[in-house]
Amino acid sequence: SPGASNALVESCLVVNAAYIGISLGKDGNPGPTIKNTTVYNDRTEGVAASHGMYIYGDNAKVYNTVVAMDCTLDDGFTNDKALFFSTPGTATASNCVLYGSRYGDNIDLNTATGTVTEVVKSSGVSSSAVVFRNASGGDFLPFTGDGALLLAKGMTADMPLLDVVRRSYKSPHSIGAFSSYSPPSMNWDEADLF
């Protein structure tokens, strides 16, 4: 939706978009706020670039969002980005995981982004890392095992109440469009009560 100003996007899942997963905003106007969203791109064919998010406008904000560029498409574009702000100096990226861009950290996120806190880029995601439970099978719940990158890593202030399938987020929030919570394990005495 290029041209929209001051938009709010939350609890959304975008998978294998034909060009850019999310393209939103208008330069010179207030930028959008994007929260708890997952963009996943593993296209293997096509002719268009494979950007994750291309965000226009001033003071754009992206929180608790994961952009996975697991794309092997050789589209001829060498600058495909996970998250790109057209006005980076006023933008904010916080509690995000951005990885898989063709040239890694340098194009996962603009180097001149104004406020960057708790953002994991490609160098922080090992090649063997499991980010989602089963992305190739369509399961984008956060992986809950050792080294989990999304589980309970989000910021809780000003976050959506419900995830993309209308499940309540727990505190602390997970990063991405899906809430995930691992209850404490019960001992046998407690289990016998159910």
Residues 128-175 pLDDT 10s: 678 999 988 899 999 988 889 999 899 987 788 889 999 888 888 899
Which residues make Cβ contacts (< 8 Å) with residue 69, sequence separation at least 6? 41, 50, 52, 80, 82, 99, 100, 101, 102, 108
**pLDDT value for 192:** 47
Q: Which of residues 158 and 79 earns the better pLDDT score?
A: 158
CA distance 64 to 142: 12
**pLDDT value for 38:** 96
Q: Is the pLDDT of residue 193 over 50?
A: no
- Percentage above 90 pLDDT, the chain: 45
Greatest mean pLDDT among 38-47, 67-76, 84-93, 99-108: 84-93
- The mean pLDDT of the chain is 83
Q: Nearest-CA neighbor of 86 among 10, 141, 21, 26? A: 26
Q: Is the pLDDT of residue 79 over 50?
A: yes
Which tokens in the block code for residue 39?
């963009």
Q: Is the pLDDT of residue 54 over 50?
A: yes
CA distance 75 to 46: 7
Which tokens in the block code for residue 54?
């291309």
pLDDT band per the 50, 70, 90 thresholds, residue 178? very high
| Rounded alpha-carbon distances, angstroms, from residue 5 to 23, 33, 82, 160 | 12, 10, 21, 20
**DSSP label at 185?**
P
Which tokens in the block code for residue 192?
């016998």
Which residues make Cβ contacts (< 8 Å) with residue 99, sequence separation at least 6? 67, 68, 69, 82, 108, 120, 121, 122, 124, 125, 131
**DSSP label at 15?**
E
Q: Is the pLDDT of residue 60 over 90?
A: yes
